[in-house]
Structure 1
Amino acid sequence: MPRHVAIIMDGNGRWAKARGLPRVAGHRAGAEAARKVLRAAGDAGVECLTLYAFSSENWKRSGDEIDSLMGLLRLYIGRELNALHAEGVRLKIIGDHRKFPAETAKMVDQAVAKTAGNTKRTLVIALNYGSRAELVHAARAIAERAAAGEIDPGAIDETAIEAELDTAELPPLDLLIRTSGEHRLSNFLLWQAAYAELLFVDTLWPDFDGAAFAAALADYAGRERRFGGR
């Protein structure tokens, strides 16, 4: 059983288009899929689930779609927060969500604070996240420490870099899933995915449910992880 599973939730727009619906309908259906998968992950015993909800490149989308996504995020938090808290789920954010509208950023901060003491499992939501920016931030932090004499440049290793990443306190990434048939990482968890198992499925995200998640776990269970050893 993987401890940490991450998902690139792709295909909301195509799901809506195929049904003659506006894109926001696809995002709403995608939020429902996220709820189902979080439940399935908890039932399966997955310790940490990371969802790529809003990338740093998503700002290129139309203003109306961005506004709809912000509203949907607020709706999701308002609807699900108490249930997550009651189930012992800790919410963690990676990325720079403080660039979101003030009302949205405040709701996110309050949700993180409310669930901070929960220990049963962790839901990580990537908001305004980009892996290259994360690595730049880590490199800058280490460089500043080296310039201040706090660390010997010769002592900088993988552990030092990992300690500066947004995911520093999380279990290593075991399985990364991307839906909708695309076969790329799209600037998501590039460092963390170095030895993760990758699974690309054709299912559009709104159609990805508990059964699909169980199938992904079964696929993972059938793999032999060698980490370059042989």
Structure 2
Amino acid sequence: MQKPLESLPEPAGVGATPVPRHVAIIMDGNRRWAARQGRPVLFGHRAGAEAARRAVDAAIDFGVRWLTLYAFSSENWRRPQDEVAGLMRLLHQGLERHMDELIARGVRLRVIGDRDRLDDTTRARIEEAEARSIRNERIDVVMALSYGGRDEIARAARKLAEAAQAGRLDPAMIDERAFARALSTAGMPDPDVIVRTSGEQRLSNFLLWQGAYAELVFLDVLWPDFDASWFARVLEAYAGRERRYGARLG
């Protein structure tokens, strides 16, 4: 059972050291969690969806301004068809059942990724949720759906190349800022910290451009067990890091 936030120790650095503005999470471990419970894979994904709701609540309560959740990667389309269909059903149910509550809490929803691979119904529901929440400003919750970092970079490069070929862009003006504006995350701050659960220690094609200077935190907890106390550990770990951005060594 999740501990109430009042009973959690305040993360080191909250107040004294700024809380990270943008936390990005690779939500890993649903399948292993289900296997340990002796339950079907979709049981783990359902529990993972509840953990995502807890993460949003914790981010709001701790004062995080941006939260990006890696919900479904471009590689996940290769999974069994029934699993993919089940994940899409969970997405539909989540938007239908919880969007009113999220909006009431000040959540502005944004979805990044290749929407062309989504069916018309899913795209329509996402667009509706984004439109309904567009005026909220307490926290931006970004869902990376059908998302791959390399694909995003390739799309941005193609977009800039097409603009240059059409004469709308001087190739000499393409710098890091111009490239960032061509990404699906345009207008978003880069993540201050990227978290991965389940004990795995890799980025798995997530925010490859944006995460260039992000702090990395790897947690030995399967995603369905993630709660506010684990979020507090992320903030504690971040508060203990010295961010140098390559300015000096040693």
User: 1:12 & 1:97 partners in 2: Cα distance?
Assistant: 23
From 200, 205, 219, the counterpart of 1:187: 205
The one-letter code sitting in structure 2 at the alignment partner of 1:158 is E
From 104, 109, 127, the counterpart of 1:109: 127
Q: Secondary structure at the match of 1:69?
A: helix
Q: How many residues align?
A: 230
Q: Shift of the alpha carbon at 1:152? A: 1.7
Q: Secondary structure at the match of 1:194?
A: coil
Counterparts of 1:1-230 in structure 2, within 5 Å, are 1-230=19-248
Q: Which runs of 5+ in 2 are unaligned?
A: 1-18
Q: Shift of the alpha carbon at 1:109? A: 1.2
TM-score, length basis structure 1? 0.98
User: 1:208 & 1:186 partners in 2: Cα distance?
Assistant: 19
- Single out whichever of 176-185 and 97-106 deviates more from structure 2: 97-106
Residue identity over aligned pairs, in percent, reads 56
User: 1:79 & 1:151 partners in 2: Cα distance?
Assistant: 44
Q: Secondary structure at the match of 2:77?
A: helix
User: 1:145 & 1:59 partners in 2: Cα distance?
Assistant: 30
Q: Secondary structure at the match of 1:143?
A: helix
- Single out whichever of 15-24 and 167-176 deviates more from structure 2: 167-176
- Single out whichever of 135-144 and 145-154 deviates more from structure 2: 145-154
Q: Shift of the alpha carbon at 1:224? A: 0.2
CA displacement, residues 67-103 of structure 1 (integer Å, 9 cap, x when unaligned): 1101100111111100111122100000023422222
Q: Secondary structure at the match of 1:171?
A: coil
User: 2:163 & 2:236 partners in 1: Cα distance?
Assistant: 44
User: 1:227 & 1:185 partners in 2: Cα distance?
Assistant: 19
User: 2:159 & 2:214 partners in 1: Cα distance?
Assistant: 25
Q: Secondary structure at the match of 1:195?
A: coil
Q: Shift of the alpha carbon at 1:16? A: 0.3
Q: Secondary structure at the match of 1:83?
A: helix
Q: Secondary structure at the match of 2:211?
A: helix
User: 1:148 & 1:97 partners in 2: Cα distance?
Assistant: 25
User: 2:55 & 2:102 partners in 1: Cα distance?
Assistant: 13
- Single out whichever of 188-197 and 166-175 deviates more from structure 2: 166-175
Q: Shift of the alpha carbon at 1:190? A: 0.2
The one-letter code sitting in structure 1 at the alignment partner of 2:112 is I
Q: Shift of the alpha carbon at 1:146? A: 1.1
The one-letter code sitting in structure 2 at the alignment partner of 1:172 is D
User: 1:73 & 1:203 partners in 2: Cα distance?
Assistant: 23
The one-letter code sitting in structure 2 at the alignment partner of 1:102 is D
